[in-house]
Amino acid sequence: MSENRWVVGWGNGVSGPTTPSIDGPTVAGRQWEFGIVTMGIETIAIFPNQVDRTTGEQIHGSGDETAAIVVRAVNGRADLIAALQECEDYFDNRADADCDQDGYIPNEEMKLLQVVREALKKAGA
């Protein structure tokens, strides 16, 4: 699973003008720092440093900070979906319903299974 997790930092997939040994991008004639998000050897995104509106200078480290926020959100979502899928399996194996004159009456596990499946659907899983 770790190979499917996003991380902040340089990876083998970062090449060309974004490689640390080569000068980074130029903004207004100046070299500009940026943060990188990778997954395995693939570069997922590049986040340039933000600009201080007062001085016009880059805010050092802000690209990495932005990248870290994105990484936490994506990995957190993946962790949440994995947990919900485990719950779905658990409740699916225990879901049952009784039948009486009014129709089917689901047990608690069946009710919770529907809640979990709806959450997975909303999460796009």
pLDDT in tens, 75-89: 999 999 999 999 999
Interval 42-70 mean pLDDT:
89
Least confident of 7-16, 68-77, 93-102: 7-16
3-state secondary structure of 26: strand
Average the pLDDT over 112-118 and give the result. 96
Evaluate if residue 19 carries a pLDDT over 50: no
Distance (Å, whole) CA 5 – CA 11: 13
Q: At what angle do helices 62-94 and 108-122 cross, to 10 degrees?
A: 150
Tell me the pTM: 0.64
